[in-house]
Chains A and B, each alone.
Chain A
Amino acid sequence: MNGLTVSNLSFSYGSRAILRDVTFDALQPGQLTALIGPNAAGKSTLFKSIAGLLKPSTGQITLGGLDLATLSAQARLKQICFMPQFFAANAALTVFDVVMMAQKQLRGWRVNSADTAAVAHALSAGGIGHLAEAYVSELSGGQSQMVSVVQALVRQSDVYLFDEPTSALDLRHQLDVLGRIRAAIRDRDAIGMVALHDLNLAARYADHLILIGNGVIQTQGTPEEVLNSPKIAEVYDVDVELLVGPRKDLLVHAYAS
């Protein structure tokens, strides 16, 4: 398996180009890649294109050498697990129900004890065991985001795409969730991509960073390489100072220019 590759990918809504000629190095199994970039840079669009929910106008996406465009939508989404940024939470469904839904992957009416055990384990591992009986309509923003992450991780896929999994979480839960995502990616030897706004978190948890701005890949590489690149200041339109933190972690400080 030679990872997930994206080459010459373009996408536009009508005449408005969202992604232009996006190409990046093959993402390797067991590694977590952070996709960073300002709002409306095309992060979600890139994820949806990889998941096959949007049809790109040009370009090719391959997984393990196989062109994903040749797969049916169902087969593709079995291999690629995409966690969207938002979910409408006015349904009378419990947290247990929605995670079970992901576990069953829309197949079969019956739920066996293995499914129940898997869901119960996923909930407690995700730190939301106490919410199992709560209705999704009653969750706070942060709680429903954690449910989304559990929902994604309960599925067994080759590729995991998380669209801003930590945007509504407090400090402690941000660390928990990203730690859990990274551990799952390593254990399963899967390919992981996370869209993040917090560059410090990206530097700390990701093996690889991709910076996207204006629908174009600006730079990619290890966290040190990308965060040291002048492109960061340019793309985000801020002044950036980089420090090494007390535990040898990279710290990014941004100042309005």
Chain B
Amino acid sequence: MESFGYLMQGFAVALTPYNLLWCFIGVFLGTVIGILPGLGPAATIAMLLPLTFQMNPTSAVIMLAGIYYGSKYGGSTTSILLNVPGESASVVTCFDGYQMARQGRAGAALGVSAIASFIAGTFGVVGLMLVAPPLAKFALSFSSPEYFALMCLGLAMVVLLAGKSMIKALLAMMVGLWIAGMGTDLFSEASRFTFGHAELLDGVDFVVVAIGVFALGEVLGNMEIREGARMLPVPKGLRNLLPTLQDLKDCRFAFLNGSVVGFIIGVLPGAGSTIASFISYGIEKAVSRRPEKFGTGVPEGVAAPEGANNAETGGAMVPLLTLGIPGSGTTAILLAAFILWGLRPGPLMIQDNPTLFWGLVASMYVGNVMLLVLNLPLVPLFAQILRLPAYTLYPFIFGISIVGVYSVSGSLFDTWMLALFGLLGYAMRRLEYPSAPLILGFVLGDIMERALRQSLMMSQGDLTILVARPMSATMLFLAVLILLAPLFRKADALRVKAIAEGS
């Protein structure tokens, strides 16, 4: 096996003390910025970029990549503990992770998330190593109709996120789609729903919506019911803070699901890790034997999306390294870094710089192990945060939410928007509207609209382009199936009832 020899050379590069140190610095920084809401890996890498000019490119890329995948590990921490998504990709982790924390199982949730991250992160690297070139070809075959179909498939997940009332879920999703439409229309340059504010020309930032609706909405709601007097239970003893064997058993399929879905969606330049985590959560719920328990704090509801957003980093490296095509903000800045270091990113980079590629791959194996070792002992430590009394914890959540949002844009306008979305989140809780469909609509709306309009421009208005291509037709068919599933279930229930009454 040729690549095995290369991989050994890669380990020889990655395991030098100098590179090990940079790898550790990278994953450590990544964990930290992952934990802090707002500031993401793209911003951190951009800020550190000038410091890497003096380093050799292999060490530099090992460190910067470490920040990238390390941030995915850390992102789940605040989602689980405080319902504050640390990164956009970890918003799905809030659904079950925060519920687990409320039941005193924060440690288990954090542990499951670290293990899922490790398994899927490693899977992503294996994928990157073994199937990168053929997979890059697959990614190129994806055109706008396929992206539209993929987004439809994602949007169909609303059925699974609905909770009690489907109507309310659909309404929330519509609001999400509407918010996604704010800003400048890419195709006509028209401003939509900017209300004369230049700040809204670029649309609303994901962080503002997610932190507002989830974190602030939750805190406002809790303050009102004066739950604050009662502290969240945090069990004593290290053993009780880690996931049980049963938890891990429940997550068996989720580990695999998250790994595969995350990696494949990561390879597509136009999708992204938030979508990957939504879809893998949806799949997990669809095939689960206890779908009704999702959203109340099941470990597999944490493992699937956390796995997906970690496997996504390995996937996102595929088009970057094999084609020189960045698929996300973070990989775009890595691409800029390659140019600044004098490497020529593109289809021939692996061939030209085998040491760099294989050194990076090997360092990602090492880095994932480091992250697991780094994160697991932190679990009990972080879980202690919940021991804080409400009068300390709630202002603390407000504080980090505001700082998080301000750190992204540096604009006070966004802080006001955060307040607005906090009130929206609160109102939705009061009126029992689920917030997950809103986020789903918001995340998918923009790409979905774009893909549809691109498709129709390509076909000059002919709608059949959406179903004429086998891959998009398959995905659209699956989406319809998912949408109809509740009807089948209802019909089935009626049938069972009829039989019962008949006998």
Partners in one complex: no
Binding site for A on B (CB under 8 A): none
